[in-house]
Amino acid sequence: MLKMIPRTGWISRKIGLQDVESVADHTYSASTLAMLLADMEASRGHPVDVEKVLRMALLHDLAEALTFDISKAYLEYLGPSGEAMKRHVEAAAWKYLIRGVGVKAMRMKYMQLQSEYNAQETVESQIVHAADKLDILFQIVAYHRKGYPRLLLLDLWRSTDHSLRSVRVRSVASLRRTAARLYKSAVST
């Protein structure tokens, strides 16, 4: 189902529907980036549960199978309560979907992973959140390479890049710099 759901934030930013990535595309990219970040951290001697990172990354947008992708632009229309409403709707969708997992132990494990992801307190959850944002930067590069103008996504680039600067996972800075190099290359051509 996630293959059929477009990332609506790109639509609200005037990316053509034919070019908009699906939630499944994003989940795959974010999962790959999360794995890379986890492996980078582990290679530096930092304890990271890479399997947990991958499971969390693969599940992080599962609720969107029912809620679809609720974009920041849509949340702005809802006003100050928008984020809380999104969290509530996605939590309800998550609970509904997870009931379909027949084995209670698996269901409990997945629920714990989602709870940990939402809390953003462990290094694993911070890696997945960072990968989620890094994927936005790399997707912006891809759109620029397709010919979309720099100004169309400049505010999103800046806000996402800024939010990544405060991430405590050291390896994020390396991938953020890589994205910035690619961005400069893409917008200068």
Rounded CA-CA distance 46/164 in Å is 19
Question: Which range of residues forms the domain containing residue 140?
Answer: 2-188
Residues in the chain: 189
How does pLDDT run across 108-128, given as a tens digit for each residue? 999 999 999 999 999 999 999
Alpha-helix runs per DSSP H in the chain: 8-12, 23-43, 50-59, 64-67, 72-78, 82-98, 104-119, 123-145, 150-164, 171-188
What's the longest Cα–Cα distance across the chain?
53
pLDDT tens digit sequence for 132-158: 999 999 999 999 999 999 999 999 999
This prediction has a pTM of 0.93
**Number of domains present in the structure of the chain:** 1
Confidence (pLDDT) at 166: 92
Residue ranges, the chain, pLDDT below 50: none
pLDDT at 6 (0 to 100):
92
**Are the beta carbons of 11 and 17 closer than 8 angstroms?**
yes
Residue 13 near residue 143 (C-beta atoms within 8 A): no
pLDDT of residue 79: 83
Helix (H, G, I), strand (E, B) or coil at 21: coil
CATH of the domain at 158: 1.10.3210.10
What is the pLDDT at residue 189?
67
Cα distance between residue 8 and residue 73, in whole Å = 9
